[in-house]
Amino acid sequence: MVLYVISGILFLLYVVDRRHDGVITKKLARPLRFRSSQHLLWFISSMAAFSMVLALYGSEVWLAHIAIWMFLAVEVTAIVLAILHVLVFKNPNKEMLSEDCIWFNLLMVIAYAIILKMY
């Protein structure tokens, strides 16, 4: 139940931030040590998705499997885009994609794979 509340709060924060042109994440990014507001927004949405998967862990197995595979696809896509952006194109703009994106998304893929193995 607590994980449903956490994922709901994170999702609500995401929606409110998008409605107000990123005001919340722009103010929180620096004090929370994020490189940019986009990185904070990605972190918030990833944690909301992860907490939703954990909330589904015990009750709806089939739905959790669908959610895990869907979020794995999103994370792998983000890894590929970050690798292309950082290593292949060598784009100096680090606001959207950086080396940190690669490591964070790899950790999320590992976390989803562990949960998938536990089912």
Percent of the chain with pLDDT over 70: 88
Instruction: Give the pLDDT confidence of 2-51 residue by residue, as tens digits.
Output: 666 776 777 777 777 777 677 777 777 777 777 777 788 888 888 888 88
Query: For residue 54, what is the enclosing H or E element?
Result: helix 37-56
pLDDT at position 5 is 73
| Residue pLDDT, tens place only, 83-107 | 888 888 777 666 667 788 888 889 9
- For 5, which DSSP code? H
